[in-house]
Every structure is written in C-alpha cells, then in structure tokens.
Amino acid sequence: MLASITLIIIGFCLGMTAALLISKGKIRRATTLKEHKKDELDRNRRAHYFTQVGTWDWQINADILYWSDEIYAIFGYQIGEITPSYQKFISAVHPDDVASVQSAEQACMRGDKHYEIEYRIVWPDDSIHWLFESGDVLFDRDGKPERFTGIIREITRAKKTNDYYRELAHYDRLTGLPNRELFDQRIDEAITRAQHHNSMLALVFMDLNTFKPINDQYGHSTGDQVLQALGQRLKHSTRSIDTVARVGGDEFVAILEDVKRDEVLKIVENLRSLFLQPIAIDKQLFHLGISIGISLYPDDASDAEALIHIADMAMYQAKQSGENNIRFGHAVPTAKPTQTKAE
C-alpha cells in the first residue's frame, strides 16, 4: 500500500515537472516570437528611415493628419517637434508646386485617378528637397472621400543625379548652352506654341568668322576659354523666353519667340554686339567676327526643317558679302506643275 502511494506521488511530481517544462517552453517560444516581431518592426523602421520613406494617414473631414516617424525627418523636423496637419504640410510645399499638388489631390478625391506626384518642399532652414508621393482615397458609403493614405519618399539625391545626366545629354560641355539635340526639341516646341498663339518666331543662325585663327595661333585651350566666356555672355544677356544653342564648333543658333517682324532686327543686332565685344583671356583681347542669317515663322516656312535651311542659306549669303553682316532669308518658291496641252 505504502509503495503504491509512493509511486502515485512520484508520478504526480514527474507530471508537474513536465507540465512546468512545457509551460516554460511555450513562454520562451512566445517571448522569442514577440522579440522576433519587435526586431522585424525595428528593422522595417530603420529601413524606412535610411531609405527616407514615410507613411501618412489623413482623416479628411476631421482634418487629422498622422505622420510616421520618418516623415518628420523628411520635412526637416525632429520627431514630435510639430503637430502634423494639412495646413502645416501644404505650407511646406514649394510655392511653385502648391497648385499641382492640390490639383493631383483633388483628382484623386474625385476618384479620377491614383495620386502620384513629384514636388519640392522647403525645410525650416530654407533648403529645398524633392519628394515622391503616392496615395489613395477611401470613400464612405455615400461615395464621399473619408480618408487619404499614402507614402512619401525623399528623392533629392536621385533628382540631382538625373539632372546631372540630363545636363550631359542636352547641354554643351564648354559653354553650358543647349546643344543640337535640345535645340531640335525646342524648335519643334516653339513652332507648336507659335501656331497655338498665332505668333511669329525668328530662327537666327550665327557663324563665327575669326575663331579658327585663335585656335591655330593660341591653341585649343585658349579657344575653349573664348567659347566659355562667350557662352556666359549669351546666357546672361538674352530674353528668358528665347533659346541660344551651340550646334557646332563655331556655330550658334537662336530661337526668338513671340516677336514682331519690325523688332527682330533690333534683337539680332543686340545679339551681334555680344559676339563683337572683345573677350579678355589672360590679359589678351580676342576679337570675333560673326555672320548671321534669319528665317521667320510663318512668313518663310511652317516647319523646322525648312526654317533651318532658309536661315542657313541666309547666313551663307551674309558670310559671302563681308564681315559681321545680317541677312534675312526668303521662302523657297515651290515649282508649279507644268501644264501640257491635251492632244
């Protein structure tokens, strides 16, 4: 009898020990799982922080805006430094971008399209940063916008990189002026605008007459410095709506938009004076000559190829007639079909 009781007690103790061990194992596993989830959340937070991605949630009717911790840094604040609100957000958007941001928001709240936009913000220290933002609207039962949620990503560095490569692709390395590729693009755009506004534009071809002797006598390095100085002069002395491009070694082109016929010559004479002013390099004065040809839209032609041909021919005529001359081109007459008598 005593032996049976002893066995029962021993069995009970072993069972309790096993239960305790199992319970501890479950607690340990649960703790490990919680720690794993916490670590995962921390990793996500760190990833968002270092990739500059934040989330936001705007309760539209109550005008309550939630920012994740990352967005404070994206907008130039310490976490909790300000209370987020739509007014705080829109006041941080660059003044030139406010209209496009609000237009994109309204389109999404109408259900027209997904919200996705790039825009600039101004930090409290007045530095400018680029953001990419996307989001969607949640609608209530009546189809009215209720919540607007989305993400924001800092893209300033990427923008600068893209701008750098765009600069290489579209701008002349020496002068900083638009190159041939960008000129081709801008002349087409200028013609489209002129058609839309029923206005005139002038295409001005300019060719340096005395640049080769500078290269031959003083070397290409000095010639490059002359071109750089000329580029700076042209960039800072022309109208903001006009384009001056370097399309060859010593060839330049200007697109003069929204001009009157009687003011074209005056603008071109001002351009010519920029070329004729001496350029000082290492205490040496260099004098340039220039020949200029002009074609007009729509008087001479209505497409880029014909305008270029007419201006180029006019420039050649100016060069043939002497130094520093200006010539207007003329529309190329189209041949009339030959009529034959019916037999």
DSSP 178: B
Locate 146 and state its tokens.
Answer: 């209720």
Beta strand 243-246 with 251-259: parallel, antiparallel or unpaired?
antiparallel
The closest alpha carbon to 215, from 288, 271, 274, 283, belongs to: 288
CB atoms within 10 A of CB 3: 7
CA-to-CA separations, 305 to 177, 187, 292, 308, 315, in angstroms, rounded:
21, 10, 18, 5, 15
Catalytic residue among 242, 250, 300, 312: 250
Between CA 331 and CA 296 the distance in angstroms is 9
User: Helices (H) and strands (E) in the chain — how many of each?
Assistant: 10, 12
Helix (H) or strand (E) holding 56: strand 53-59
Known catalytic residue at 96:
no
CB atoms within 10 A of CB 76: 16
Between CA 125 and CA 196 the distance in angstroms is 42
Which DSSP string do the residues of 14-42 spell out, in sequence order?
A: HHHHHHHHHHHHHHHHHHHHHHHHHHHHH
Q: Which residues pair with 152 in a beta bridge?
A: 54, 133
Task: Write out the catalytic residue numbers.
Answer: 250
